[in-house]
A and B are shown apart, each in its own frame.
Chain A
Amino acid sequence: MTAALGLVPRLAAGTLAALLSDYTFRTVALGAAIIGLMSGVVGCFSVLRREALLADGASHAALPGVVAAYLITGSKDAAVLLAGAAASAVLAAAATVLTARRTRIKFESALAVAMSVFFGLGLALMSYAQRLPGASKAGLSRFIYGEASSIVMRDVYASAALALMLTALVCVFFRQFKLAAFDPEYAASAGLRSGAAGGALTAMTVAVTVLGIQAVGAVLMSALLIAPAVAARQWTRSLAGMTALAAVFGAVSGVAGTAYSSLRDGVPTGPAIVVTASVIAGVSLLAAPGRGIAAKLVRRRRLRRRVLAADMSVVDELTSPDVSAVPAQSTRPDAAPDGQGRAASPSDVSATTGQGTRHEAPPDGRESPAAPPDGEESATVPQDVSAAPEQELRPDAPDGEGHVASAPDKDGKGGGSDAGGA
């Protein structure tokens, strides 16, 4: 076990200079950077297409392929094992898509079934393989936890080649991929083969996932695809910018994670990379200008101050829809959609009557899901729409959830009395 996890390149000297002159570190860091870069680029599309968890499924489902490839060929060569991994990941992805399309089981549940069953099959095969003479567990179990230190120059060249290919693909077919990610219906009506583009994106996700398993392991691979994309999304509104930024974030996570695990004894590389990527995502969510949580809080406070300065009676008007938020409406009044514009109108109206705002509020509320708070990129809108049919079926749509958490205590009384008064 310690052999599987104590895979950290242990360096005597802890300084950065010593680190950079270390051949192993340079190789591993370069490999991790390339994998991070590819994950960033491809991850953007999987996040936007809401296929983020596909990576998680694919990486788990790769296990039986790895073991089967070993059992059949008897070699532990990375290329052979990766081919097996890709084959079983693709098989699981196909089974998931087939199940989700042809039965009433939803994509998410089908994915959970496929990945966990494949993983179980992999475990059974692995326990069989271990009994064979000459089979040590270490070579195979690195596919569960990852073993970045096993990256050699040959792997770096191979992943660099794949990275170049993927980047070229994304550049050439950027328009098609964009449509496939945001608005498959429109793409189809415009005569673009978005099905092919979507399939290509899914295949790219699987390819990057399988390649990344070596560095961060099956369990953590999904984070490397998702976290850089989520982080990049907060800073920019254009897909090209998001893709480029995610690539940078992914590469930085790879290098920083490798460096951290080299400098601190006993910190495995894969988890260190994932923690770095998650920290970048967390900081971006909090601090990104405009969209970030901090910026939203500041805007809300500014709005409150302006409202208070304008007229005290406005406060009642602004807070009452807040309290009586009906779960069916998927708005968050407290998020203050288009902060500035709205602040002006209620205060204007309230100068006339209180009734005025009441008429004003509902349309505002109903519009919001279609045009979410300012920060939302226009492009996310069609995507919301395309995801809607599936989410309608779910009793527990994410929009409703926000209210459920806050509604019952406030709503039980506030909403009731409000309804009684009306």
Chain B
Amino acid sequence: MPAELEIGLIAVMTAASCAVCGSLLLVRGMTMTADAVSHTILLGIVLAYFAAGGLDSPLLFLGAAAVGLVTVALGELLVKSRLVSEDSAVGVVFPLLFALAVILITRYASSVHLDTDTVLLGELAFAPFERMTVFGADIGAKGIYTSAGLLALDLLFVVALFKELKTVSFDRTAALVMGFSPALLHYLMMALVSLTAVGSFDTVGSVLVVAFMAAPAATAYLLAESFGKMLAAAVAAAAISAIVGVRAALALDVSFAGAMATAAGLVFLAALVAAPKRGLVGAYLRRRAGKRPR
């Protein structure tokens, strides 16, 4: 497989799995959680690195995802104490964990191949160099398998728990009455978000995981009328942004992650302006026609 195709494939699958998680977060108004989690997984990666002594261990995955969950739990603990409002709680917890990670890296791990640039900014261009081999045969870049696995996991989660997710997100009381636990589902969802963020960080970098969790979901939110359609639209928007972004990055010779995020932003901008019902133009026309916007 040519390297460009591999890069494109990884980009599309990573973007799609981020878009699925992002849609779940957006309908619950928790998009900034993605921001917090994607930063603090750095601490998990560092700690797991110290524990495992290498960057290849699966421990890295679990450790990072666990710290993502800890971030969410700590934030909720603060909110529950009623001393701090929700956004401030997020704003206090994640910079602390992130700062600790940066200190640990610079103080103890600066000599090894673990730097904040790799984690924060990612480097998709290197993805084709890491090969997956089975019985000595090269079967493609490793990133293809990680991103495919994540996408499969995310889709499986959403398809299997579609009804539950919908009920919990849009009607908590009904969910409680029907007897499934919003808390359990909430933490499952957060675990999924953390795992996806960890799995995507070396593709797009943890900062831009946020772009792919936020922008395609927001685009879809402007276009779709039902949760199912929204998920589909988000995945489509993510795939389009990824393809356009990779193409643009190759043509202009700039960072893949940066170009992909910019493309996602442009797709969102197009929807923001021109979405048939909820776009700026549509809303303006409706206001002029004398009808109140929704």
Task: Write the residues of chain A forming the contact surface with B, with a CB cutoff of 8 angstroms.
Answer: 1-2, 4-6, 47, 50-53, 55-56, 60, 98-99, 102-106, 108-113, 115-128, 131, 141, 144-145, 219-220, 222-223, 225-227, 229-230, 233-234, 264-268, 270-272, 274-275, 278, 281, 285, 291-293, 327-328, 332, 335, 372-373, 375-376, 393-396, 398, 400-402, 404-405, 407-408, 411-412
Contact = CB atoms under 8 A, between A and B. Distances in A.
Contacts of A60: 207
B258 interface: yes
Interface in B246-294: 249, 252-255, 257-262, 264-265, 268, 272, 278-280, 283, 294
B238 to A, nearest CB: 13
Contacts of B26: 109
Contacts of A109: 26, 29, 31-32, 214, 217-218, 221
B215 interface: yes
Contact of A404 (B183, B253, B279): B183
Interface in B104-125: 105-108, 110, 115-117, 120-121
A393 B226 CA distance: 16
Interface stretch (B8-16, B49-57, B93-101, B128-136): B93-101
Nearest to A51: B87
A396 B165 CA distance: 12
A275 B86 contact: no
A230 B88 contact: yes
Interface string B155-176: 0000000000000111111001
B202 interface: no
Interface of B: 26-32, 34-35, 39, 76, 78-88, 90-92, 95-96, 98-100, 102-103, 105-108, 110, 115-117, 120-121, 168-173, 176, 179, 181-184, 186, 207-208, 210-211, 213-215, 217-218, 221-222, 249, 252-255, 257-262, 264-265, 268, 272, 278-280, 283, 294
A222 B208 contact: no
Contacts of B28: 394-396
B255 A328 contact: no
A408 B91 CA distance: 28
A125 B255 CA distance: 8
A396 B172 contact: yes
Contact of B87 (A50, A113, A125): A50
B87 A53 contact: yes
A345 B54 CA distance: 62
Given A5-B102, A6-B110, A404-B182, A223 B96 contact: yes
B211 A119 contact: yes
Instruction: Tell me whether chain B's interface is mostly helix, strand or loop, or mixed.
Output: helix
A123 B264 CA distance: 14
Given A112-B32, A407-B183, A219 B95 contact: yes
B264 A117 contact: yes
Counting chain B CB atoms within 10 Å of each CB, the highest count among A53, A109, A234 belongs to A109
A417 to B, nearest CB: 15
B80 A401 contact: yes
Contacts of A412: 179
Contact of B29 (A108, A116, A265, A402): A108
Given A125-B258, A398-B86, A405-B183, A281 B215 contact: no
A371 B105 CA distance: 45
Given A109-B26, A113-B214, A120-B262, 18 more contacts: A1-B116, A1-B117, A50-B85, A111-B32, A112-B31, A116-B35, A121-B265, A126-B255, A127-B255, A222-B95, A264-B107, A281-B92, A291-B83, A394-B29, A395-B172, A396-B30, A398-B85, A404-B183
B124 to A, nearest CB: 12
A60 B39 CA distance: 13
Contact of A267 (B84, B107, B171): B107
Contacts of A117: 211, 215, 261-262, 264-265, 268
A121 B261 contact: yes
Contacts of B39: 219
B276 to A, nearest CB: 13
Contacts of A281: 92
A393 B294 CA distance: 13
Nearest to B101: A271
Contacts of A4: 117
B244 to A, nearest CB: 13
A119 B91 contact: no
A210 to B, nearest CB: 17
Given A1-B116, A112-B35, A404-B183, A123 B280 contact: no
22 contacts: A2-B110, A5-B105, A53-B87, A109-B26, A109-B32, A109-B214, A109-B221, A116-B207, A119-B211, A120-B208, A121-B261, A124-B252, A124-B254, A127-B258, A128-B253, A145-B102, A219-B39, A219-B98, A266-B106, A271-B100, A274-B99, A395-B29
A268 B172 contact: no
B102 A226 contact: no
Nearest to B275: A103
